[in-house]
Structure 1
Amino acid sequence: MKSKFLKPSNIVYVVVIALLIIPQTRQPIQIMLHKGLSAISTPSTLDKDEQKQLSDYNWSLIDENGKGFNFEAAKGKVVVINFWATWCPPCIAEMPSLDNLYLEYKDHKDVVLLYVTNDAPQKTQRFKKKNGYQFEVFRPVTAYPEAFDVNTIPRTFIVDKSGTIVLDKTGAANWNSKAIKQIITTLVETKM
């Protein structure tokens, strides 16, 4: 008589749990799962009553080359801000789409892309080189504006030209989707 517990689905379940327990396999599996989830997760804009207005653009950052950036320079532009870390599986999972978004909009005069981390510059440079990413990395010098209530990562915001947070997404997502590009295009074309 065959045991009820030796079903193929139970065996797969036990193997997946075992792989998640082993430290060397945990992160790659988490990244793979988050990539799958982010491929089907396209964020949408917030309802009007959920949107927050930035009251303060007083935020200093520094890029990976040591050059300062004042968030005040982003005023009047569409801003995509992603808070992330090199050790975070959902962050790693969404990085290919964020890099593609960066490549598409990096030279657009009305769009600012800020990928913000607290990781050391050497660590982020190694991470980018290993994965072939081209996006710029920023580290905060001062505290971010209160409207960005970041208590978990990845966390991504899209801010319109008038300083309204129109999109706020926690977790991995596909940032290079047609829907996101349409949101950015609509915001760029909107008159202030």
Structure 2
Amino acid sequence: MFKRIKGQLKVSNVIFFIVIALLVIPVTRQPIQVFINKGLALFSPSTIKKEKRRQLKNYDWQLRDTNGRMYDFESAKGRVVFVNFWATWCPPCIAEMPSVQALYKDYKDRVSFVLVSNEAVGDIVPFLDKYNYDFIVYNPITDFPELFDVTSIPRTFLIDKGGNVVMDKAGAANWNSDNVREVIEKLLLE
């Protein structure tokens, strides 16, 4: 009986060390982290109660897209806005991107999508091409408005036409959920 327990402990130790090794080796670490975060990204973000919503008062923010075109965030004023801070190397960001793409596909003409990365265009464009994402990604030229207190990524804000932050989510989320779509539909009617 002792030998069998000892053998089981050895197998569990081997499995433990394999898992640790996979998480330490750079080639396997990111896919595993993305897989784990996809599980977390199944959850829809929650809506902020009206009395607790903060208002974006300053739209003074300049950005540049991957083709070098300037974007003045002021042009988003009076529209429903989806702002997402992300990076190509960030597993939670990668995990939520398919849901962002699906939402973008259906709402790109009615919602301003502002996806922001500090990375070089040479890193962003191959990532977008690899996954067939067609949303526009911007690099910030000036500091973002103070309301966007971004200390970690991904960080996403859904803003109504009056500049009120309706959703503020740090971490991966399912942005293509029925809940998010219902909120956007209501915001578009206001």
TM-score tier by shorter-chain length is over 0.9
Amino acid at match of 2:65: D
Give the whole-Å Cα distance in 2 for the aligned partners of 1:99 and 1:173. Answer: 13
Aligned to 2:61: 59
Q: What percent identity do the matched residue pairs reach?
A: 51
Structure 1 pair 189/153, CA: closer, same or farther in 2 (3 Å)?
Answer: same
- Work out whether 1:188 is the aligned partner of 2:188: yes
Give the whole-Å Cα distance in 1 for the aligned partners of 2:37 and 2:16. Answer: 18
Aligned to 1:103: 105
RMSD: 1.6
Residue 11 of structure 1: CA displacement? 5.5
SS of equivalent residue, structure 2 residue 41: helix
Aligned length, in residue pairs: 187
Give the whole-Å Cα distance in 1 for the aligned partners of 2:133 and 2:80. Answer: 22
Q: List alignment gaps of at least 5 residues for structure 2.
A: none
Q: Deviations over 1:117-159 (max 9, x none)?
A: 0111121110011111111111111000000000000000001
- Work out whether 1:76 is the aligned partner of 2:78: yes
Range 142-151 or range 63-72, more displaced: 63-72
Q: Normalising by structure 1, report the TM-score.
A: 0.91
Aligned to 1:170: 170
Structure 1 pair 9/47, CA: closer, same or farther in 2 (3 Å)?
Answer: farther
Structure 1 pair 5/143, CA: closer, same or farther in 2 (3 Å)?
Answer: farther
- Work out whether 1:25 is the aligned partner of 2:43: no
Give the whole-Å Cα distance in 1 for the aligned partners of 2:25 and 2:126. Answer: 25
Residue 36 of structure 1: CA displacement? 1.5
Structure 1 pair 42/5, CA: closer, same or farther in 2 (3 Å)?
Answer: farther
SS of equivalent residue, structure 1 residue 158: strand
Residue 87 of structure 1: CA displacement? 0.7
Which has more radius of gyration? 2
Query: Structure 2 residue aligned with 1:88, among 90, 98, 106?
Result: 90
Aligned to 1:37: 40
Q: List alignment gaps of at least 5 residues for structure 1.
A: none
Give the whole-Å Cα distance in 1 for the aligned partners of 2:36 and 2:100. Answer: 17
Give the whole-Å Cα distance in 2 for the aligned partners of 1:180 and 1:29. Answer: 27
Aligned to 1:117: 117
Amino acid at match of 2:109: D
Q: Deviations over 1:51-89 (max 9, x none)?
A: 211121101111111111111111111000000001101
Give the whole-Å Cα distance in 2 for the aligned partners of 1:17 and 1:158. Answer: 37
Q: Normalising by structure 2, report the TM-score.
A: 0.92
SS of equivalent residue, structure 1 residue 44: coil
Amino acid at match of 1:145: P
SS of equivalent residue, structure 2 residue 122: helix
Give the whole-Å Cα distance in 2 for the aligned partners of 1:11 and 1:52. Answer: 51
Residue 37 of structure 1: CA displacement? 1.4
Q: Deviations over 1:1-51 (max 9, x none)?
A: 222672676664443223112222111100011012112x11011123432
